[in-house]
Structure 1
Amino acid sequence: MECAAKGRGSPCSPGPPSRRCGSCGAIAYCSQAHQMLHWNDHKEECSRLQQQMSRADALNDFPFTFPTQLPRSAALGSCEQETRCCLLTSIGLHNVGLWKSECSCGPPVASSANSWITANWDLPSMLCPCTEPRKALSSCLVDWKDYYQWRCLPFHSPVALLLHWPLTVYHCFQVSGVQSLNADVSNKLHIHYLGPDKELSQLAVFRELQALIPRVQLHIELIGPAVPQFRDGETVRLCNYVCCSDTSCSCRASCTDSDAVTPNSRSSTVLLKLHKGFYHDRYRDIIKDSRPHLIVAPNAGIAAYSSWLPTIEVIKEMGIPAIFTDFCEEAALLAERCIGTVTGRPLRFPVQVNPFRQPMMVDDSPLCVPCYSNCFLFGI
């Protein structure tokens, strides 16, 4: 984290900024002089950030017993990479299989394109969803506690750290109400998934969507600039759940009978297709074969990237429900303003907490506000 007044007046004092705004606590400074220099810019946002900081405990209210953040005394002065590495190390999953991309010391997406195909949970069967659910869903899942109880998982299982991707898609599907608006969703569900990045190394976990949205053919088009050029147009059919580490588990037999990922399997019910580029440049070709029922854009950063403006224009013209997520409430509120300048209308889905946000705090935000992957959602 940098001093909020960096680049103004005198050079910043060496070391991480340790002086916080006394009112909101969300902004850090290297010195009192820089804090005073920045006040005219900060005073309008201070009360808003103070409200966001007051919700920190509620946002960290998870049912899990595995560590989701280091004690504050240990985390002070640590960079985001060090914090996440320490947390993953504490549960024995640092730099392992599907978990590698959960910290900055993991391999880049492009160099690990296919490593997730043979990777497993690296957890015993009792700690991961490696087979079909014991019972079908009788009602919508409302939070992680609901999901873990349905999947018969103990709360010390860390799988939520990866499953927040498909669970967020599931929640967006429920929030959008597209199933009640489109009769054909009972057979096929087409989702356009914008801006994939880290999850490109964790695609196998999206197989869980078949348990969450059963008896529906799921077609998910993943479109974004982070897709490597050599993966542009790649089609992935997810046939089996991610395996556990138990060699005697029944999930091993299913993987032996049919590959976890096959290019031409007709029995697959979750199909992913990758496209490199911005949505507003690629959508015309994509909708020829896959017109979406729903658009999902995780951790979008709409206010940070001007490239979102033409994409929002396209979504507005298409009239398709689109739900975005972001790391913190401030980013979501700034995104709401940006979307309003394009659509001229209020959000159809107001800014709200995602109950399936990743339960590991992100510490590399320029602000000290509560920050989690897929933390808040909103949409048009």
Structure 2
Amino acid sequence: MQDIKPPKKIFRCATCKAVIYCSAECANRAWSISVGNQPTHKTLCGDNKRHMERLPQTQGITKSFPWGRLESDGTFSFDIARGRFGVLGSSGYGYWSHRGGPSPHSEAAAVNMDSSPYASQYQKLVQSFEYRDGKELIGKKHLSDEEGWKLPSKYIPYRNFSSAATLPKLVTEFEYGVVDWDTWYRWRNLPKESPAALLMNYPMSVYRMLVNCLELTSPNAGQPDKRVGLHIHLLGAEVELNFLPLFSELALLLPYHDIKLVLFGSAVAKLVRVAMKTSRSLATKSPVFIYTAPPDCGSGTVSIYFNSVSDGNWSATDNVRPDALVACNAGLASYHEWFPVIQEAHMKRIPFAVTEYAEQSAEHQRNMIPIILSREFLSPRPMQEYKIQLNPFQRPGQRPIPMYRLPNIVNGFTLIVYKNKTAKAKVKDLELDKVIGEVGKALRTMILNKMD
């Protein structure tokens, strides 16, 4: 076999600066020749250049943290960051425990390599990382804040507060509003030295999708005598199973809300099947996890449930229609399982938002939505309504992908798949009710004072 030597010089597209090639010949070939169903670089170059304009923003988020080291290629090593805090590993590392390997998803089959001569070797490699997402839920007790985070106390965003020093303000009284990592850290009384954002990006991205993308509710919508109930389905859950208690953050961010969060996905179904063999396992309980925020923080509640029916695949035939669907790092057009979900969300007018790794991917998913809908003779909504935004609660740090420099980040971008136009009006009505209620109380006090 002929030895394969590394190139003496790599080539980077001079126009978009987004793609790396091993040689000039490879770059010229990619410019005009399509491989499989992939568009040529000539087709993508202009969009790549536009997407690269996001790079200062995404790198700025990473560099805002003292631990946010950028490598020479602009990437960020999640594992090195974990190693610096002593939380690198699979089992036994609390919320940081996770499956390793080259694939971001638990299913080896998720990577479309069926036609590749290396497919069998790749699947063996993926399967060699045996850690099961949600392994801690086979036990009988949720981890405490200290057991889960395994960090110095000053770096932990507590959910169970032992002192007033760790208790955040009622979020509606926080003057800046929680709109990005900087304001979240201030509200949470955490120093930016804390690596909490490396895990909290999942619950904070769900919050972002519900409040800012779908405008389903807001921190001001609830009040003590008029609580807001939300029934949310989180689809395709995998790594989220490793830190379920972190979703208690939703109860702190949304005072006077009662949130039912139902998780769907093949990883959920497999976890439940394993848990059924163990008596009194957390994963077999209903709800799996429940949390109530302190009264000073608004007494919000979050209850988390597992749905393992039909191997975790979602269907709107559930007895209770959800208020919204959300998914993290979805890859809508990459997996056929998403197609019926997109169709049902439109047919039954269920608000639906996802995060995607890259803006380029999100635009590809958006372009596919009308095609997916037309298969069922549905009337597609105008494409401009499928809004894509940079997610300020993305996980800090560029993912290391050797050939590309495009911003590619865990929970990097949000995409609105379907938005119910009445949702915003409903939120405004709730907020108005609250204002009217406060004004009414003030008027009543003033009248009583006059009578005295």
For the aligned pair, the TM-score class normalised by the smaller chain equals 0.7 to 0.9
Aligned equivalents of 2:67, 2:130: Cα separation in 1: 20
Structure 2 residue aligned with 1:100, among 59, 83, 97? 97
**Is the CA contact (8 Å cut-off) linking 1:26 and 1:49 kept in structure 2?**
yes
**Is the CA contact (8 Å cut-off) linking 2:330 and 2:354 kept in structure 1?**
yes
- The residue type equivalent to 2:132 in the other structure is P
Cα shift at 1:94: 1.4
Aligned equivalents of 1:195, 1:301: Cα separation in 2: 10
Cα shift at 1:73: 6.3
- The residue type equivalent to 1:137 in the other structure is V
Name the residue aligned to 1:202.
Answer: 243
> Residue 237 in 1 paired to residue 237 in 2?
no
Aligned equivalents of 1:92, 1:338: Cα separation in 2: 42
Structure 2 residue aligned with 1:137, among 164, 171, 175? 171
Name the residue aligned to 1:354.
Answer: 391
Q: 1:216 to 1:195 in 2, by over 3 A?
A: same
Task: Could you tell me which runs of 5 or more consecutive residues in structure 1 were left unpaired when the two chains were aligned.
Answer: 1-10, 242-250, 252-266
SS, match of residue 195 in structure 2: coil
TM-score (normalizing by structure 2): 0.67
* 1:1-380 correspondence runs (5 A): 14-15=5-6, 18-40=10-32, 41-62=40-61, 64-72=64-72, 83-95=77-89, 96-101=93-98, 104=101, 107-109=131-133, 111-114=135-138, 117-118=142-143, 119-130=147-158, 131-132=160-161, 133-138=167-172, 140-175=177-212, 176-179=214-217, 186-231=227-272, 234=284, 235=286, 236-239=288-291, 269-276=301-308, 281-285=313-317, 287-288=318-319, 290-343=320-373, 344-345=380-381, 346=383, 348-364=385-401, 367-379=404-416, 380=418
Aligned equivalents of 1:13, 1:340: Cα separation in 2: 44
Cα shift at 1:106: 8.4
SS, match of residue 327 in structure 1: strand
Superposed CA offset, 1:348-375 (max 9, x none): 3510111111113222486321111111
Cα shift at 1:300: 0.6
Equivalent pairs: percent with the same residue?
Answer: 27
Which one has the largest radius of gyration?
2
**Is the CA contact (8 Å cut-off) linking 2:265 and 2:313 kept in structure 1?**
no
Aligned equivalents of 1:85, 1:183: Cα separation in 2: 40
Aligned equivalents of 1:74, 1:160: Cα separation in 2: 19
Superposed CA RMSD in Å reads 3.3
SS, match of residue 357 in structure 1: coil
- The residue type equivalent to 2:249 in the other structure is E
Aligned equivalents of 1:106, 1:360: Cα separation in 2: 26
Cα shift at 1:124: 2.5
- The residue type equivalent to 1:26 in the other structure is A
Which is further off, 274-283 or 334-343?
A: 274-283
**Is the CA contact (8 Å cut-off) linking 1:84 and 1:103 kept in structure 2?**
no
Aligned equivalents of 1:128, 1:195: Cα separation in 2: 27
Superposed CA offset, 1:41-91 (max 9, x none): 11010111112122211112227433234421696xxxx9xx332221123
Cα shift at 1:229: 2.4
Q: 1:161 to 1:276 in 2, by over 3 A?
A: same
**Is the CA contact (8 Å cut-off) linking 2:82 and 2:88 kept in structure 1?**
yes
Superposed CA offset, 1:136-191 (max 9, x none): 012642111111111111111110111111111111111212238x9999331111
Q: 1:297 to 1:369 in 2, by over 3 A?
A: same
Aligned equivalents of 1:74, 1:369: Cα separation in 2: 10
TM-score (normalizing by structure 1): 0.78
SS, match of residue 388 in structure 2: strand
